Amino acid sequence: MNTMYDDLSSDYDRFVDWPARLALELPFIVQELCKVEAHRVLDAACGTGMHAIALAQQGYEVVGTDLSPRMIEQARANATSARVAVRFAVAGFGELHTKVGGDFDAVLCLGNSLPHLLTPDDLEAALSDFAACLRAGGLLLIQNRNFDRVLAQRERWQEPQYHREGEREWLFLRFYDFEPDGTITFNLVTLQRQGAGKWDQRVTAARLWPQRRDELLEALQKAGFAEISCWGDMEGHPYEWGKSGNLVITAKSLQN
């Protein structure tokens, strides 16, 4: 995973339409943070830090972590450009409490990051780590793809993403390969050209475990989470097994 996202770091903010995404997702995130009277927020697998920065701009104290050093470099540069104070650290799932401490009011794990964990043991360690980072009653908010639908429909391709800066163009194509062992290979094709020139191509890939809803709910309960709710997207629409594009989960930690 580290190599793929290190390679993607320079283009990630072109790949994502951040103004549109944040306008869509922030109201739901803030709504859920308000329910637990959150002030200190940990954004795990924060990428280039745009959610963390947006929350800091709204007055939250935010720490962002990511396994990719280059993503963290870009996140720090983005925070400097936005003139907001966000602490960023290189840290992967399972080592967050060791590296950034605990007593957070909320932990966010967005952008289909959790499926990069490939075994139940790794998932258990990550969720226990999230719980250790949270105060009692703190919020965990997870955003995954709805892999129940993906697997049922063998949904291979995702919507292409396009970006333009002057004469430079980028086209991002994403698709899955379904592996015999039940995992999925996530492929990202990046096409770039200058003016009417030839397209340069780059392909990167990462292996995913397509975690189903019931697997996640069982793992969350085992890790000491309660009041677990499922949503179909980051606008708070109800979760529908065969229709929803996302599986968004909110839960509260019972640990001190």
Set out the domains of the chain in order of their start, with CATH numbers.
2-149+210-253 (3.40.50.150), 152-208 (2.20.25)
What's the rounded mean pLDDT across residues 135-142? Answer: 97
Round to whole Å and give the CA distance between 194 and 176: 28
Are the C-beta atoms of 195 and 224 separated by less than 8 Å?
no
Q: Is the pLDDT of residue 91 over 70?
A: yes
3 state DSSP class of 136 = strand
CB atoms under 10 Å from CB of 56, counted, come to: 22
pLDDT at 100: 97
pLDDT at 11: 84
Are the C-beta atoms of 200 and 191 separated by less than 8 Å?
yes
Round to whole Å and give the CA distance between 239 and 229: 9
What's the rounded mean pLDDT across residues 142-160? Answer: 96
Q: Is the pLDDT of residue 30 over 80?
A: yes
Q: Is the pLDDT of residue 246 over 80?
A: yes
Q: What is the pTM of this model?
A: 0.95
DSSP character at residue 198: P
DSSP character at residue 199: P
Between the CA of residue 237 and those of 46, 106, 220, 230, what are the distances in Å? 23, 21, 21, 9
Q: How confident is the model at residue 55 (pLDDT cuts 50, 70, 90)?
A: very high
Round to whole Å and give the CA distance between 111 and 80: 23
Task: Give the angle subtended at the CA of 71 by the CAs of 67 and 77, to the nearest 5°.
Answer: 135
What's the rounded mean pLDDT across residues 29-35? Answer: 98
Across the chain, mean pLDDT equals 95
What's the rounded mean pLDDT across residues 86-111? Answer: 97
Q: How, if at all, do strands 200-208 and 168-178 pair?
A: unpaired
Round to whole Å and give the CA distance between 73 and 6: 10
pLDDT at 60: 98
